[in-house]
Chain A
Amino acid sequence: MPHIDFKNDFPGIRSAMAYRPETAEPMGVLAELLLRDDEGMSRADRELIGTYVSHLNDCFYCNYSHGAIACIYLGGDEELVNQVREDFTKAAISEKLKSLLNIARKVQQSGKAVLAEDIADAKTAGASDRDIHDTVLIAAAFCMFNRYVDGLATVTPTDMSSYPKRAMQIVENGYGSHVFKNKQPA
């Protein structure tokens, strides 16, 4: 049961956002800018970083919501999403993305855990300054989103078939207040 009365029955972060639309608005804008951008890293890469950090933070709702979005961008390759969760070093992804997931893993622990050698490895693998910046900020943003979702004990849907439907809403319409203003996908 949620820690506070959201006065709605939306799932996960949507219930907290609907409860306080004023703070939801900039969070939606931030997610849109960081996750739906193709400069340097693809949308799939960005969602995989969000999925992996949510997995490490043990935030089921965010992990499976963003995993489902990544899966759509990857043409339905759920196996790849699972490989990233389980052991990204063995996943069929570029060396660059592996080095960025390593940085995200450190950020999840603590900002201080990111070492100069982690950055050097990413640069050797072809990551730009902007890629490194975005990776750190995406990982840090998920450390916020995950805590928001679980810190208020929002409701986690148990029907796994609902995740791809909400994911498709994001793929089609992006992040923003429509996720709690429009009817939830059946």
Chain B
Amino acid sequence: MPYIPLEDHLPGITGLLEYRKDTAAPIRELTQILLRGESTLTEGERELIATIVSHRNSCRFCTAAHTAAADILLGETESTAQVKADHHSAPLSEKMKCLLTIAAQTQESGKAVTTQAVQEAKDAGATDLEIHDTVLIAALFCLYNRYVDGLATVAPSDPGFYEGLGKRLKDNGYNRLPQGYDHLKK
């Protein structure tokens, strides 16, 4: 049960973003820019960064949600499965594997990001902006994962919930729906 009163029909992060809408607005905007804005990384690749960090933070809700979004965007499920098991063996470009290493290091600590990992990413073709965005996406999910679990929000056990959420993240991104979320009440 959540530590603060949240609406029953809005599990995980979704209830928190409705609890304090003023702080939710910049969090949503930052996420929309980083995960859906113009980028040389695909939306699916950026969702993989969210997935690996959430998985390493053991955040069930965020891991399931971003796995679902990545699976839909990539049109396959092998990448997310491999990223969570061992991203070095995932069916991804060398550049993407290097960026996932930087994301994994950022999850541990900012200080854990090594010059070597950054150099390997650059050697594999990563630009400064891609490295910047990888670190910031990973850092942002360290915020989200702690927000979601630190207030003990509910993570639904029904896989269908995350398929629906993943589809919503693909179709609408991270902006608040203009009509709100009352239509999700059962």
Interface residues of A (CB under 8 A from B): 3-5, 16, 19-20, 22-23, 25-27, 29-30, 33-34, 57-59, 103, 106-107, 110-112, 114, 116, 119, 129-130, 132-133, 136-137, 139-141, 143-153
Contacts and interface: CB of A to CB of B under 8 A. Distances in A.
B151 A133 contact: yes
B129 A20 contact: yes
A107 B146 contact: yes
Given A4-B128, A144-B142, 8 more contacts: A3-B131, A4-B131, A20-B133, A27-B26, A58-B111, A111-B149, A116-B152, A140-B147
B150 A129 contact: no
Main secondary structure on B side of the interface with A: helix
Contact of A143 (B16, B19, B25, B142): B142
Contacts of A29: 25-26, 29
B33 A143 contact: no
Interface in B89-142: 102, 105-106, 109-111, 113, 115, 118, 128-129, 131-133, 135-136, 138-140, 142
B22 interface: yes
Interface residues of B, number: 49
A34 B4 CA distance: 17
Contact of B3 (A25, A132, A141): A132
Contacts, number: 145
Interface string B27-41: 101100110010000
Contacts of B33: 22-23, 26
A141 B113 contact: no
Interface of B: 3-5, 16, 19-20, 22-23, 25-27, 29-30, 33-34, 37, 57-59, 102, 105-106, 109-111, 113, 115, 118, 128-129, 131-133, 135-136, 138-140, 142-152
Which of A3, A27, A111, A129 has the most C-beta atoms of chain B within 10 angstroms of its own C-beta? A111
B128 A110 contact: no
A141 B24 CA distance: 12
A140 B138 contact: no
A147 B149 contact: no
Contacts of A152: 110, 113, 131-132, 135
A1 to B, nearest CB: 8
Contacts of B145: 111
A153 to B, nearest CB: 7
Nearest to B115: A3
A141 B128 contact: no
B143 A33 contact: no
Contacts of A107: 146, 150
